[in-house]
Structure 1
Amino acid sequence: MTNYCVSATGVRKAFGDNNVLNGVSFEVAQGSATTIIGPSGSGKTTLLRALNALDVPDAGVIQVGEVEIDFSKPVAKDELRRYRAQSGFVFQSHNLFPHKTVLQNVTEGPIVAQKRPKDQAVAEAIELLDQVGLAEKQDQYPYQLSGGQQQRVGIARALALKPKVVLFDEPTSALDPELVGEVLSVIRDLAVEGWTLVIVTHEIQFARQVSDQVLFTDQGVILEKGAPAEVIGDPREERTRQFLDRILNPL
């Protein structure tokens, strides 16, 4: 029996008259990497944000880690807090605290939100910064770092919360092309180490290399899902083929 870290059934989300998610269902196995690909406006980011309730779904049942919520019913605040605590979120544009050092950014969540002892949080944060290649930057501020370094701090910050799953929202889209590789390398290492990852990305070759599962979204539904060799290498759907052809063979 597969041990699922994430399970979503019939997830719906609308913003006004715009139905962004139209009954999305999928699972993510423990210790696996899932990438979500698709055209802009297809619901990728909203789906990812639903997994952390940054965008609270209108309907559907989602289980993340140890918490399952039926979003078609009213959800208590403490239950929503428990749900959010199951995942760590890495944003497109770093979202670091500009007035805090690198080390303070990484320890903020464990100390303030999780009430963990400061010395323990600091020791673990230094270890994580070493893991992402930034141990020597711990006393610097975000403005002193490159975009790629800031994003790696964002990854360390998410890992510091010891989440069941790490959610990445197009983690390289705001970076200069020469900085993309350093961030993708860190994410690749996390996949090898057995972290459960869900990654929204436009980097198709990276998705091919790192994924156990690829989801292709279009118009608020998952049109195709499977192993990279299937979805990227030999897609069944014409819409998937069109999208990949445009990305992989630009004019």
Structure 2
Amino acid sequence: MSEAQTEYRVEAADVEKAFGELKVLKGVSFKVAAGTATTIIGPSGSGKTTLLRTLNALDRADSGVIRVDDVEIDFAAPTTKAEVRRFQSRSGFVFQGHNLFPHKTVIENVTEGPLMVQKRPKDEVMAEAVTLLDQVGLAAKRDQYPFQLSGGQQQRVGIARALALKPKVVLFDEPTSALDPELVGEVLSVIKDLAVQGWTLVIVTHEIQFARQVSNQVLFTDQGIILERGTPEEVIGNPRQERTRQFLQRILNPL
């Protein structure tokens, strides 16, 4: 499919973000095609998570234009709360630390957004929640509370909760970084299944082999810019930039 024919679910143009004097994003631009998985890799402090959070306005960009599905915001211009809410509704966010409501059961966590925010019919929402929990392997845990679950199970609930909002794009912020090593695989397996099913995914990850397996596009960030982009084979298998090579050598061949 040619560039002109490609349907893009996310388009970011010249995105800038600073925290005080620290400029974290320096004119970042990229696109994510519908039904594809994009992974963002790079060293700590390179702007990966901030970039992801700007796609949901959890961190509001200082300037630049971001479009998610059919909603576009020019962050250099004034925006209303309603415009930002509409922008945020197009994506679901899966956090590093699960961020589940501790006083709500698994199924209550999954149904909270569709019921309270989207005001959708309860019968419909409950039926979809059961299906989603089955999809992530947790249908039997529906009435348990987060403290009764492993970290990997909590993260899978977080994924089901994001999917319950029927987002056009699912954003993952290092979804395995808070997990014990033996629990990482169960979460990555769920994300791989979503990619196969055709969800549009943007994933910040330090799991390089996972990025190689799941990605259609890999972005390597360093010092607030996208230094290299391409297919997994191009960026991970045969990087053009010396900085990318150094990073991958350190990650893939630790001392």
Superposed, 1:92-241 pairs within 5 Å as 92-241=96-245
Provide the rounded CA distance (Å) in 2 between the counterparts of 1:146 and 1:4.
36
Deviations 1:87-122 (A, max 9, x none): 000000000000000000000000000000111111
Provide the rounded CA distance (Å) in 1 between the counterparts of 2:125 and 2:182.
32
Deviations 1:146-179 (A, max 9, x none): 0000000000000000000000000000000000
Provide the rounded CA distance (Å) in 2 between the counterparts of 1:213 and 1:92.
21
Question: Which residue type is aligned with residue 2 of structure 1?
Answer: T
Question: Which residue type is aligned with residue 104 of structure 2?
Answer: K
Provide the rounded CA distance (Å) in 1 between the counterparts of 2:51 and 2:57.
10
Provide the rounded CA distance (Å) in 1 between the counterparts of 2:142 and 2:127.
12
Aligned residues: 251
More deviation in 206-215 or 71-80?
71-80
Shift, 1:65, TM fit: 1.1
Deviations 1:40-74 (A, max 9, x none): 00000000000000000000000001100100101
Percent identity over the alignment?
Answer: 78
Provide the rounded CA distance (Å) in 1 between the counterparts of 2:135 and 2:214.
18
Q: CA RMSD in A?
A: 0.3
Question: Which residue type is aligned with residue 58 of structure 2?
Answer: L
Provide the rounded CA distance (Å) in 1 between the counterparts of 2:232 and 2:122.
42
1:57 corresponds to:
61
Which consecutive unaligned segments of at least 5 residues does structure 2 have?
none
Superposed, 1:62-73 pairs within 5 Å as 62-73=66-77
Shift, 1:131, TM fit: 0.1
Please, what TM-score do these two structures have when normalized by structure 1? Answer: 1.00
Which consecutive unaligned segments of at least 5 residues does structure 1 have?
none
1:88 corresponds to:
92
2:17 corresponds to:
13
Deviations 1:161-220 (A, max 9, x none): 000000000000000000000000000000000000000000000000000000000000
1:75 corresponds to:
79
